Amino acid sequence: MAEQTRRRVLKAAAGVAAMAAIRADILPAGADQDVDAHGLSAFGDLAYPADFNHFRYVDPNAPKGGTFSQIGPGREYNQNFLTFNSLNSYILKGDAAQGMELTFATLMVRCGDEPDAMYGLAAAKVRRAADGLTYTFFIRPEAKFHDGTRLTARDVAFSLNLLKEKGHPIITQLLRDLTGAKANDDASVTVTFAPKRARDVPLFVAGLPIFSQAYYTAKPFDESTLDAPLGSGAYKVGHFEVGRFIEYERVKNWWGADLPVSRGQNNFDTVRFEYYRDREIGFEGFTADNYLFREEFTSRTWKTRYDFPAVQDGRVKRDTIPDDNPSGAQGWFINTRRPKFADARLREALNDAFDFEWTNKTIMYGCYDRTVSMFQNSDMMAAGRPGAEELALLERFRGRLPDEVFGEPYLPPVTNGSGDNRAQLRKAAQLLQDAGCTLKEGKRILPSGEPITIEFLLDEPTFEPHHMAFIKNLGILGIDAAIRLVDPVQYRARLDGFDFDLTVDRLSFSSTPGDSLRSYFSSQAAAIKGSYNHAGIANPAIDALIEIVIAAETRPALVTACRALDRVIRAGRYWIPQWYKPSHWIAYWDVFGRPPAQPRYFRGIPETWWSDRDRAAKIQKAG
């Protein structure tokens, strides 16, 4: 864990109060018949025409070859940042290798310049029914698996049904509105959805991996394995050593290489992920040229450690690139499943005990801004008093939610950064007293008489300094707190099983949140092991607002609904917000070429970069 955690890769009208009855579809406004399209988006808008040649942010003539290596910045489903023991990335069991998604083709792929648009990869086009509940995808005849067998609509139907039944709990939850997938023949597959389905479910379906039916008929899908599965993507599994590194080899003559969605991308012959159990050792590996690219997440390292000889002589470059995605919510998430955290006043007292300003100034070189919202760095975060449109959504819950929801949204306390935050600690002590948590022989006890203790669960030591002042302040309040540092596999198991008091995580949302909100905040997800609802949020008002967000028919309506949802979540004090930075710090050995344009919503690395032989030769000569 680092200061900024790596990522795991939303105008209501007067009638919004009845949103539960509104059909959510992604057809263009006024559509009353089946529509054929080369892509999908949440609200039917596509920036690229059907005959586009390539995305704006790529160089279509980028050369192929060379190697890209990094410590992976994000993970999907059961992937682990620090180790791996499985190549099955789509189930709950095991700790999968990062990058396995590179080996599978999907029906469509995201565009980095649009909030949610997708364009055809394995599917040449999609036919959307007027009711928004039936989609027929037409499969490209040239699509193939790595063994040369054809990828057909039957494989697509098999994959979707398999993932719905046996996939990772996050996948099965997001597919709850998928009612069926059936191949009409080898060339087309029809996917059906439940009425009032989530707006983004078709997009999620279009981005899921396509498995070989023949392969998984002979092998179990729901088991961890180190056998490389049969894929159809731009890369396949190459060399690997469990827990140390994994390489993906570019598939020569890949069937999708010259499609508009792929042109100028997937340029490296080898993409390699390195694993280090300690980020300090990982940094030393970068300085020694053991890997070539690094996204930096620790301000101390970024500000003080990039003075080694390769930086001074120009062999290593540094850059800051903007990140227009919502920054989401990073912080300590409080496991409210545990009775000792049931009272929101106690949870607010924990917020008052954390001095962000001192931590940012003293430990993080003033590099970060305070996170306050679940939708930080976006127009979806609540600010000020709710307007009429937000109130139209919230009024039905009056009397069941704190009055605060109908006024200014909750903001964490601000200190002078001196480290002497006695005023905030006095406020915290009063909150605890109001909650019946009294002092007994210097220790804070619950109304039941049980001492209040807190264990912070961590899986790497980098983040320990950021806890110490917080723990000290908790001690002043009479709360015994300590860090429990566990190995990555145990950490993943405890997180999936909700076996923790507080832990750090970063929840990241797209610019068009939808069904994924259920995984983070719904009552249903609170009871599903492996879900992202680490705080155990189970609030009927939040459940209802999530459905309103999902049902929003326009982007302004979606923004309004997200702001209302944000107010309610913040009022619950389910987390202790930390910090964010709307940019990426990157460092790399100067052996790469890169296009002049940056995708707005993607980092775009390594997808759009390439190996520059002339630069690599200079580096080798200089070294």
Per-residue pLDDT, averaged over 359-370, amounts to 94
Q: Say if residue 27's pLDDT is above 90.
A: no
Tokens standing for residue 511: 């610019």
Mean pLDDT of 464-480: 96
pLDDT given for residue 1 in this prediction:
45
> Residue 236 — pLDDT band, cuts 50, 70, 90?
very high
Query: Are 76 and 89 contacting, i.e. CB atoms less than 8 angstroms apart?
Result: yes
When pLDDT is averaged across residues 72-83 and rounded to a whole number, the result is 91
- Average pLDDT for the chain: 92
Number of helices (H) and strands (E) in the chain: give both, helices first: 18, 26
Per-residue model confidence (pLDDT) at position 226: 97
Return the CATH fold of 329-580: Dipeptide-binding Protein; domain 3 (3.10.105)
Say how far apart CA 564 and CA 359 lie, in whole Å. 30
Burial of residue 214, with CB atoms counted within 10 A of its CB: 0-12 exposed, 13-18 middle, 19 or more buried: middle
Cβ–Cβ < 8 Å for 57, 604:
yes
What's the pLDDT score for residue 6? 53
How close are the terminal C-alpha atoms of the chain, in Å? 32
Query: What pLDDT, in 10s, does the model give residues 575-586?
Result: 999 999 989 999
- Answer positive or negative: Cα dihedral of 4, 5, 8, 9: positive
User: Within 10 Å of residue 266's Cβ, how many Cβ atoms?
Assistant: 24
CB 99 within 8 A of CB 86: no
User: pTM score, two decimals?
Assistant: 0.84
- Map out the domains of the chain as residue ranges: 329-580
pLDDT digits (tens, 9 = 90+) for 329-340: 999 999 999 999
Rounded percentage of the chain residues whose pLDDT exceeds 90: 83
Strand order in the sheet with 329-334: 480-485, 453-458, 502-507, 329-334, 575-577
pLDDT at 491: 94
Q: 493-536 pLDDT, tens per residue?
A: 999 999 999 999 988 888 888 888 999 999 999 999 989 999 99
Residue 29 above 70 pLDDT?
Answer: no
- How would residue 623 be classed by pLDDT, with cut points 50, 70 and 90? low
Average of pLDDT values for 607-617? 94
Long-range Cβ contact pairs of 515-518 (< 8 A, separation 24 or more): 515/174, 515/177, 515/198, 515/199, 515/200, 515/201, 515/204, 515/550, 516/174, 516/200, 516/204, 517/10, 517/546, 517/549, 517/550, 517/565, 518/173, 518/174, 518/198, 518/546
For residue 382, give the amino acid letter: A
pLDDT value at position 4? 66
Instruction: Kindly indicate the confidence band of residue 2, based on its pLDDT and cuts at 50, 70 and 90.
Output: low
Q: Are 13 and 548 in contact (CB under 8 A)?
A: no
Res 617: pLDDT: 86
Q: Which of 189-198, 504-513, 560-569 has the highest mean pLDDT?
A: 560-569
Does residue 133 surpass a pLDDT of 60?
A: yes
Give the Å distances, CA to CA, from 312 to 287, 307, 317.
12, 6, 9
Does 483 score more than 50 pLDDT?
Answer: yes
Task: Give residue 490's pLDDT.
Answer: 95
pLDDT of residue 463: 87
pLDDT of residue 24: 34
Counting Cα atoms < 13 Å in the Cβ hemisphere of 251 gives: 23
How far is it, in rounded angstroms, from Cα 516 to Cα 507? 11
A 10 A CB-CB count for 140 gives 18
What Rg do the C-alpha atoms of the chain give, in angstroms?
Answer: 25
Question: Can you tell me which residue has the tokens 């000020």?
Answer: 384
Quick: pLDDT tens for 255-280.
999 999 999 999 999 999 999 988 88
Residue 601 pLDDT level (bands cut at 50, 70, 90): confident
47-60 pLDDT tens trace: 999 999 999 999 99
For a pLDDT cut of 70, what percent of the chain falls above it?
95
Which residue from 259, 202, 195 is spatially nearest to 233, judged by alpha carbons?
Answer: 259
Is residue 546 predicted with pLDDT exceeding 80?
Answer: yes
